[in-house]
Structure 1
Amino acid sequence: MRPDDDAAASAEGEVGGAPSRCGSVADLDGLPLSGDATSPSGAGDAAHPFEADERTRYRDPQVVARGGMGQVSAVTDLRLRRQVALKEASPSAPGAHGLERRLAQEAWITAQLEHPGIVPVYDAGRGEGGRPFFTMRLIRGRSLATALADGDLDESTLLRHFLAVCQAMGYAHAMGVVHRDLKPANLMLGEFGETQIVDWGLARAADGGDNDDGDDDVGGLVPDTHAARTRVGARVGTPAYMSPEQARAVPLGRSSDVWSLGAILFELVTGRALYDGLGTAEIFVRLDRGPVPRVLDVAPDASPELAAIVAHALRLDPAGRYPDAKHLADDVAAYLDGRRVAAFAYSTWDLVKRFGRAFRVPLLVAAAALIAIGVVFAASYTQTRAERDRSQAAERAATAARDRAVAAERQTASALAEADHSFAALLVRGAREASLHDAQAEAELLAAHALLRGPSPEARGVLARWGAGARVRLAGAEPAPDCLRARLGPSGSTLLCVEADATSYWDVGPLTLRWRVPTQLERVAFVSADVAMVNGPGYEPGALLDLEAGAVLRPLPDTVIERVVAAADVAVVDDGEQLFVWRAATGDRTPLAASVRSPRALSGDGRVALVYDDSAARASLIDLGGGAVDALPTLPLLAGQGPMSAALDRAAARVALGGTKGELLLLDLPGTAVRWRQRVTDRALTAVLWSPDDRWIAVRDERGWVSVHDAGGGGRLALPRLRADDLAWRGAGAAT
């Protein structure tokens, strides 16, 4: 510590202008060891050691540290026959009463921090002359400041001691205590590898600071009647290691100690103090305005990870540092263990070097093994020359085989190019055939794929036939509300939106809110343009919803809605046990045959329903007027597929099926003869919808992509790329 640091450290009024060691930093070789203390009287008539008088219990004092306001002595404890360190206020120091309060406060706070890295307090009381004192462990060793000056410890050893300090301070921070004077002189290194933090004279409760009345907030650690007082606005601590907020004399938190630990780590890594060569006034200016010295500027060969840890601990803004010493300890431990340091941004090369350091011994062993193998190989080389010659001959043969393989590969590439050219010609031929039959979408698609494989005037001619104005265009778009799920009304002119915590109903074009209710509906089936069958919180197990007003028309107390299809004022509901038909006009609820379940589609006139039994892979048609059930032949889907979606035309004469592998089929009913089939995509088709005039079929896959197909021949309408949550037809020919 420099002389100006001593003066600043004593500004708080701590006991001793020089730091008390709570143990020896002086030469203790001349002191008697524990157990050498003898009774002042003869052995025959001596009183029991436990009966030693309190005032004469500690004897043979030898001063090991002295300051302007206090001193630490090595004394012999007659009761326990051991040496301890005794700290007491200096009788010649000014303000003796205030020193007594601070000495007691230091003893109380230190005694509550029971950690191997914090010097333990043994006893307290008043000695001869009535002066207060407390005793603690006598550490035989030296301070970190002395060790740094001696320069006989390597960086790894110093970092292990520093890690122990951080862990001890992490415990103190967890107990709500900040030290406020961490520096190398207050960190003791014992002769047997122990590390302890001493001199807690400035310690206070975290985030306490100075109150307006001049009392330090000690957070219940010290009796209120005995708490020491601090002059308002006084700087406390050692300038070379104090934090910027400590220099400004503002309330301190745990991050203030983190700064001090960062300054100590800076000194360990670089060999120089953080503000080496600067006076107290200059240090305060640097603490207020910056900049903070960088490790790599002082020691370019230092570890970048350690430099990052130091920089993180020494940020001017307390909020940017480690929140407490435990987090700092975690990063230092990670560095020492070869793990990643949270404060450092690693490049790929940094990770490679860290791997080398972490696995240095295994890599050295592996290298040694490789060298040994190389030696053995070299020794046996002369004995295996014939084998080498044979291997070279085999290698030449392998090279010849490889050359033949390369030639074959080139021939294959040529054949593939020729096949690709032939395929492009077939695509052009198909595009011309489709163009002759006015299948615009198919012709344009084939021509576009042909052009992807190379230039083709014929393909361009197909694309030019219709011109840009003849293609289907998007009629319009409306911004949609923020919906988790959306359902379009039967006419495509309304939208029911299930939001995060509500359900709303909108007119489409322009988008206008009709109503919103504070509940999230789970199932919605449009029975008609004005009525929907729903369930959800507040609508359980089911209810009819008036779409005009958003009010319940009629609760359905006996209706559990597992699956429902609806059209033309008719709904077919699977309640988990059986199917039943519900008619909006009369409110009648008619059960259907118990053997059929899982409704998939309803004809546009509401007369016929399609059901599919997944377990039996069997589809059936149900006449909703008479209840007759007609089982259909096996659906001609791809092997292992069931219908992902289905739709009946208005007269129930045809059914469109969407497969789980993207296949779209149109079947004639009731015999399930395939009219046409088309592979739309490689994803499941989750929705199929007939247009009102049964001319077109709209399809949506599981990603939301929409396509429209001609029901007469399966031709695909040339649409802009669209994605949708739901499908509906508006009028006879426009899809929404």
Structure 2
Amino acid sequence: MPARPAVRSEPAAPWTAEQLPEIDPARYVVSGQIAQGGIGRVMRAEDVQMKRPVALKELLDRSRHAEDRFVREALLTARLQHPAIVPVYEAGRWPTGAPFLAMKLVAGRSLAEVVEEPRGLAERLPLVTHVLAVAQAMAYAHAERIIHRDLKPANVLVGDFGETVVIDWGLAKELTADEEGRGSAPPGGEVDAEGKVREALTVMGSVVGTPAYMPPEQAAGLPVDERADVYAVGAMLYHLLSGAPPYEGMAGKVLREVLQGPPVPLARRTRGVPEDLLAIVDKAMARDTEDRYPSARELAEDLERFLAGQLVGAHRYSRRELLVRFVRRHRGALSVAAGALLVLVAGGTYGVLRVMAARDREAGERRRAESALGLAEEARGSAVMRADQLILAQARTALEKDPNEALGWLRSLSPSFEDWAAVRRIAADAEGRGVARKLRGHEKLVSKIAYAPDGKTLFSASDDHTVRAWDLVGGKHRVITALEGEVWWVDVSPDGRRIAAAGQDREIRIVDVESGAVRTLLGPVEAVVRAMFTADGQGLVSFEFYGVVRRWDLATGENRRLCSDPETCSKVVVTPDLRHAAATGVQGALSLLDLETGVVQRAAGVRVSTDELRLMVGSVAAIVPGGRLVAAGGDDGRTRVWEPETGKVRTFKDHEAFVTRVLLSADGRRLVSADERGLLRVRDLEDGTLKFSRGHEGSVVGVALGTVRVWDLATAQAQVLRGHAGAVLDARFLPEGRGFVSVGQDGTVRLWRDALPRDAEGLRAWIAETVRAADPEEAEGTTP
């Protein structure tokens, strides 16, 4: 579809620091330094525009190698969207040319500081959950074919509320990329050995990483893959359980020891570590890569099983261990059976008096068995409680990414769970962030939606060549029609009986919603980007590429051209009654088009943009009913408001970047504009004052990439609704105003409206129903 630019997850060619945008230092107010290393530092700052605290990572070493590493870290980290990986908000350059990253500020300490505190093994074991979070983050990164190569406790932050975040991806590598320096250094290569490994030194030179946590193949300068990160996670677990890293000393000495042999066995350093946890550490830190877990995913799964009290795959249980586990689990029943057998033997040998004595012993055994059974149940209950606490932690970390995912975690809580106050807090947070009912059926991106007049049915057009009708009450859907190419537009007739579908195949189809009968309008010679019913339902206005606008008589099927000039009608925005349109040409001319007569009136001296691609991307013009006001945004950051009747043009310098979207309120009193840097502004056109100025993290093209924001213009508060895996291409409020629908590149339709129950049973049912509604298996539709 030529009018829709491709959404790319990364640049087509490697970026350099010079390609990063220059950012005004006034955007951030620095309040102090968090940390500093040999080549960079991290500062605590306030994002003035977004009104949020951030961590600014600045590069002090301006060498080409350091800058390339810095930019690679920005690009790779920006691709990794996981609760345990710190997100990058912005990458740019100061006016001095020095590059920087703006990242989420995580309040807390490094895992290295936490581990350094004097603790016994009983206090260290609960900290294994932090290593599990690291393993899960690396499992996600490995699935994206990215390895970290410098995992260590100093690169893991533990937040004040238990969150765990992996930072410093400067040495990260994409396994599919063909880069120089695939390995580290050859054995005996030169390294900077100043400082101790316990001070979290990252060796600079040919060997990359931190020696105490790197596997032997990385220390030897050989190529590495996911299993190098697996080794590092195992080394972190070793450090956590023993209180010291696997190897200690100067960097050069540690490198030699890593190459010579394994560290002191963990069992010799710390007594009392569970055998199955020892097995996990040994498997993760195996010298031979073939003996390790193939990726962090398998390591994380074994850690999850250990924390849940289940058998782990890394440990080979002996018959004795399995028997002991069986006896511990069924101790009560076995004790009673042994007592009963003892009674029978004693009764046959010693007579009645001995039987009486055995009876007394049996009673004592029974009491002891009941006590043992109680202990076993208590242990099982403790394991279940620990698993429930982990589930709550996972639910909290999932909130930022997708509130629906957080509810999925809550749904898996055990039946015996009782802390519903904690569940309510997480569920309420999820609801506040936006819980969506996911309606899945399209196979490609959804570009347009339209409501039936009664508000009960939604129609969606997709690049999968179909138009679907969604029952907003039941969530079911069906294919209304299928075209030969991508469908870019769908509109509903005023009586709700027909839809118009158009797109890539150069046809306009009129479809009877009830019967499915199709009527094709012949005439377009180019792809049709819009086809809209007139207010009386008797006509249709269509818009083709290269500036062709037609008006159709649906009774006869005839059409007449209202405009066929790309210099005038390349991009149009119409009034609800389809009587007027604001039109922009390929060279940025602004015009008013009468959609009944075809008369064109140009705004003298107004040029919106000279960039044809930019004009095609956003709705850079707006119009009020009656055509008395027309607004347009330009690539110079200015918005212009034109009064066709008087010819008067007012100009506002509200932006520093290309204005991608403008809107006018129906009464013509307010102008809304948004730019490619995410800034959203509302201006009062009666007194000229600026009423609102907020923004997204990314470019605004109708709506933002991956998220939807609902703004209260009176309070300037925004609700951020997350969940779409890609660009959000259209969003509409529901007709009754109690929610809205969004669609996008991931092929899903999301319905945002829910109410949180008050009682525990109602809350459990609400979570289960919401998760079910968000499950693709539960939302399958039908086709005719």
Larger Rg over CA atoms: 1
Question: Structure 1 or 2: larger strand share?
Answer: 2
Higher relative contact order (CA 8 A, sep 6+): 2
TM-score range, shorter chain: 0.3 to 0.5
Q: TM-score normalised to the size of structure 1?
A: 0.38
